[in-house]
Structure 1
């Protein structure tokens, strides 16, 4: 019997930072006390039956074109989701609900609270509440979620500030729990010439970005910065890991600027290849920016890159600075323009000794502060404070 149920539309094998966070976190907790109600995804049956994780998972259709309540599509989605989750609650003896996001999971938690008196907490990621502020309907729904939740878990101090300043949430209700990384898997490595040869990276200076191809990630700004950087670093090679709605536009930009020999789209890769990419790059960059109301909540990839001994660069938006010791393990840059980004990268790549020192310090920093061991203990304490646990 499960005492706590996590509801999350995004969960492996589907890619997404929040899903990866929940997989890593809940997989390290006592599995007999936790159950995950996850959204369906291609390959989910094979993933759920794999023996290399012990998470108990129930799959439901948790995706919808509309998350509001004023459309028939939205109403039907919430009714069906509520009924499906309620059956799991009764079958498994669930006593508390963990909502992966404000929408739609938080609304389902709110409905369960009103109908079954189940206490719930809600994870908040930053970009979710920023986007919802543009809709009166979604804002109204989120305020209902926040008012009845026992705890709101913010993924960064920046997200916590948004909750308190813009959503009138009590300071006492907010807990900050950063996403983390596995310092035993994400580790530094010596130069691997065979891997670099296979990737076409030999004799190249590699800048790496990992993440969904979205406007806020700023891939396009770094691509536009390359012509400025190639004057001094002719072997520069920009490697992009991930997929998303911006891929075709980014590919057109690369072609238009004549940069096909200097930009490599790897798409989605397995974890082993991704770790090797971190280990073999020279600099990790997440040139994120605020795009409308869309922000980067935290930036787990920055923690993973640092664990692999790499200096990192991130945009001055959202909670990315909380992943690093600014100036010691990475730098924060205004990534609105390619000129500013190119200037920052030029300074880093021109000082190999500093880049190496920052990488060494980065590994030390995240191993102490952002390893999952630290987060699991804090999460367990938060969960034990909910309801009757």
Structure 2
């Protein structure tokens, strides 16, 4: 019998983020009376929650803190405030298990609640969260507490599982790999749409699309530099960027430096319905990710979504993105730490339209077989039951 469970995740729609979308798609397919989502506050969250009231039980808390450590007053106040609020919910709703969206802060909160209430918890691990924490002895100390008492650790990729065993000395028997899924009924191929392409300035252009926060590890800068190598002989190339973040100003400056204003679009955030159309109408999808110090791409859900829309994909050879595609069959994996190999990979792909078409067709078949939400939800349910959570 399933246990009444709190799912704690600061990142959750309508806030953008791959992990939040993963949890939304997964838990809305599980029994509503079993799972209560404790989600972080976000702009227009009430509108979102009202629209999903029949699928999800969502309660909002302020789960943001500028400090996740416990050596600062800010961090201590955050954990104490959140611990008290969740303890009240646990008592009122007779909660029997916890699912924590990340190691920090959610996993540490889960550990505290486990100590106080004696209920089991599991923790999702995404790769980039544990890598960045390695730079801090304090945060590493907290994460080791989380790992030690978690019923299981659910890793989003084999690469993340390898990091845990190799660099954190976690027993492999405590780990389970669950790749994020995608909705094959929503992300579907579509024929060329002239009206959409004209509205975006995409007509008669070959468009490379990237979706994600503007962070160094995503590699937008390298693709812009690669574009500078290609546009003299490929003047129709256009790079469309969906997302926002700390790197936007630096990327805009880079575009100006290379004189690529006619070849790069910054589209900002778009809603989910618009996003599908962008996937469908681009020529290929690129996530030219690389490691930025200890910051890596754990999996890359956007690569799965693009493939579901019948788009060939290009990914960097860092982190877990390789696990989303079949290299040479549904897309390519390449070195994205410099513009030259990235430019060469793009030129090879764009120079063979028949190969692009074949890759796109095989891409959809691949993700439907491996990453569709139906199979993903069944696997997740089995893992939760096995872990006693």
TM-score (norm 1): 0.98
TM-fit CA distance, 1:286: 0.3
Match of 1:171 in 2: 172
Q: Distance in 2 between matches of 1:273 and 1:10?
A: 21
| 1:301 and 2:315 matched | no
Runs of 4+ deviating beyond 2 Å:
none
Quick one: structure 1 residues 53 and 313, their matched pair in 2 at CA, closer, same or farther if it must change by over 3 Å?
farther
TM-fit CA distance, 1:162: 0.6
2:337 aligns to what SS in structure 1? coil
1:327 aligns to what SS in structure 2? coil
Q: Distance in 2 between matches of 1:165 and 1:227?
A: 39
Is the CA contact 1:186–1:304 (under 8 Å) kept in the aligned structure 2? yes
Match of 1:274 in 2: 275
Alignment map for 1:256-271 (pairs within 5 Å): 256-271=257-272
* 1:260-295 Cα distance to aligned partner (Å, 9 max, x none): 111001100011111111101001000000001000
Q: Distance in 1 between matches of 2:230 and 2:284?
A: 14
Alignment map for 1:32-181 (pairs within 5 Å): 32-51=33-52, 54-181=55-182
Is the CA contact 1:306–1:366 (under 8 Å) kept in the aligned structure 2? yes
| 1:16 and 2:17 matched | yes
Is the CA contact 2:226–2:339 (under 8 Å) kept in the aligned structure 1? yes
Match of 1:201 in 2: 202
TM-fit CA distance, 1:45: 1.1
Q: Distance in 1 between matches of 2:275 and 2:52?
A: 22
* 1:345-382 Cα distance to aligned partner (Å, 9 max, x none): 00000011111101000010001100101110011011
Is the CA contact 1:217–1:286 (under 8 Å) kept in the aligned structure 2? yes
Is the CA contact 1:107–1:142 (under 8 Å) kept in the aligned structure 2? yes
Match of 1:320 in 2: 321
Is the CA contact 1:4–1:98 (under 8 Å) kept in the aligned structure 2? yes
2:296 aligns to what SS in structure 1? coil
Match of 2:8 in 1: 7
Is the CA contact 1:2–1:93 (under 8 Å) kept in the aligned structure 2? no
Is the CA contact 1:37–1:59 (under 8 Å) kept in the aligned structure 2? yes
* Unpaired segments ≥5 residues, structure 2: none
Q: Distance in 2 between matches of 1:309 and 1:211?
A: 19
Is the CA contact 2:3–2:97 (under 8 Å) kept in the aligned structure 1? no
Q: Distance in 2 between matches of 1:43 and 1:360?
A: 37
Match of 2:218 in 1: 217
Is the CA contact 1:209–1:284 (under 8 Å) kept in the aligned structure 2? yes
Is the CA contact 1:312–1:331 (under 8 Å) kept in the aligned structure 2? yes
Q: Distance in 2 between matches of 1:31 and 1:329?
A: 36
Is the CA contact 2:12–2:39 (under 8 Å) kept in the aligned structure 1? yes
TM-score (norm 2): 0.98
CA RMSD, aligned part only?
A: 1.1
Match of 1:189 in 2: 190
Match of 1:382 in 2: 383
Is the CA contact 1:2–1:92 (under 8 Å) kept in the aligned structure 2? no
Is the CA contact 1:221–1:287 (under 8 Å) kept in the aligned structure 2? yes
2:204 aligns to what SS in structure 1? coil
* Unpaired segments ≥5 residues, structure 1: none
| 1:357 and 2:358 matched | yes
